[in-house]
Amino acid sequence: MDTPFPSASFTPSSFVVGAGVESLVNVEDLTSISIDFSDTGLSLVLNTTLAQPTWTTAPFNGLVFDLTSPGPLGITGASIDAQTTMIGFDSSRVILDNGRIAINWNGLSYVDGTRVVVDFTTAVPEPETYALMLAGLGMVGGLASWRRKSGRA
């Protein structure tokens, strides 16, 4: 994880996605952000002691998540869930780039308990891919049956 905000700290700064909150971000001991990935999305909850802070306006001001293991994310798009309460946050603020997810909330305001919930779209195999997969499984099953009948192991 990373952010251009100089005084943010992450606990932990690297994590494996699983059940529950994966990490917490502390910004100047005034705002904390809980980060919870699921199989299909990302949920961020911002808690603050300030009345209504606004993120600094900059080309990018937010969180960056980088995939640390090799391979693609498999995410093809993102939409904003109705649970999102950050006014002005839309899908243009979610950047998906080859193993990276960035959340940009530059210039937006928030209050204690503000939620940002992003639903991910993943690639769905084409029907031809399913057909090839099923044909391959059929061949493996046929080969196993032939080996049992012929006495080969």
Q: What is the rounded average pLDDT of the residues 40-57?
A: 94
Phi-psi region of 137 (alpha: psi -120 to 50; beta: other; left: phi over 0): alpha
**Mean pLDDT lowest among 67-81, 115-129, 130-144:** 130-144
Cα dihedral 70, 71, 74, 76, rounded to 10, equals: 90
User: What pLDDT is stored for residue 85 in this prediction?
Assistant: 97
Question: What is the reported pLDDT for 50?
Answer: 95
| Residue 134 CB neighbour total at 10 angstroms | 10
Least confident of 28-37, 87-96, 138-147: 138-147
The domain locations on the chain are: 8-122, 125-153
Question: Does residue 135 or residue 23 have the better pLDDT?
Answer: 23
* Secondary structure letter of residue 57 according to DSSP: P
Per-residue pLDDT band for 132 (boundaries 50, 70, 90) equals: very low
Give the count of beta carbons closer than 10 Å to the beta carbon of residue 101. 20
16 has a pLDDT exceeding 90 = no
Task: Write the single-letter amino acid at 50.
Answer: L
